[in-house]
Amino acid sequence: MFFQGCYNPAYEEQIRKCKDKCFEYNKLNPSDRETQSIMLKEILGSAGKDAIIVPPFWCDYGYNIHVGDSFYANHNMLVQDGLPVKFGNNVFIGPNCTFTTAEHPIDPELRKKGVEIAKSITVGDNVWIGTGSIILGGATIGDNTVIGAGSVVTKPIPANVVAVGVPCSVVREISEKDKTAYPFYSDIR
């Protein structure tokens, strides 16, 4: 956990510079993957091979975001990265998803003084996060897990499960049955 003050000129300047880079990234031609890849490497702390973030994309610092290989985020991803936000390999993010490490105190006097709390977020390998989900600071999502659309993840979610809801909770484990749920599965093995 990390405590920082809002209204800090040094942090505000870092955020401004990052927002300027995001603005430029969001103006790129959607088919210009090469320039997008170059700019992502300027914005993010690290980006694996074949990392794609479909514009528009916004973040606060950028350097706290780390994405693995074959990462794909659809339109309108927002990351408030006061602390590290780490994504594994082969992660799919649906449109309109938010990842926020930031919290503010419940006490109004502390909020007025600019106290801000940040907690990191970790997303494992082979994770799919459905459209419109919100992942809050302190959350971890285990490998191979699916987060259903519209979920709000407030706590750790284990590996190999389907989880959904507000707040997000496990509904079942991923099983061998899931491999045969689609009639075309045997054609793509």
Each residue of 10-36: pLDDT tens digit?
A: 889 999 999 999 999 999 998 999 999
* DSSP H or E run through 34: helix 33-43
User: Given 17, 33, 104, 155, which residue is catalytic?
Assistant: 104
The string of pLDDT tens digits covering residues 75-108 is 999 999 999 999 999 999 999 999 999 998 899 9
* DSSP H or E run through 43: helix 33-43
Query: Binning pLDDT at 50, 70 and 90, where does residue 116 land?
Result: confident
Q: What are phi and psi of 29, to 5 degrees?
A: -60, 130
CA distance linking residue 123 with residue 119, whole number of Å: 13
Tell me the pLDDT of the chain averaged across its residues.
93
- Percent of all residues in the chain with a pLDDT value above 90, rounded to a whole number: 79
CA distance linking residue 174 with residue 91, whole number of Å: 16
CA distance linking residue 153 with residue 167, whole number of Å: 6
Are 124 and 88 spatial neighbours (Cβ–Cβ below 8 Å)? yes
Q: What are phi and psi of 185, to 5 degrees?
A: -55, -45
Annotation says 66 is catalytic: no
Q: Would the pLDDT of 189 be above 60?
A: no
Q: How far apart are the first and last CA of the chain?
A: 43
Query: What is the reported pTM?
Result: 0.92
pLDDT attached to residue 3: 59
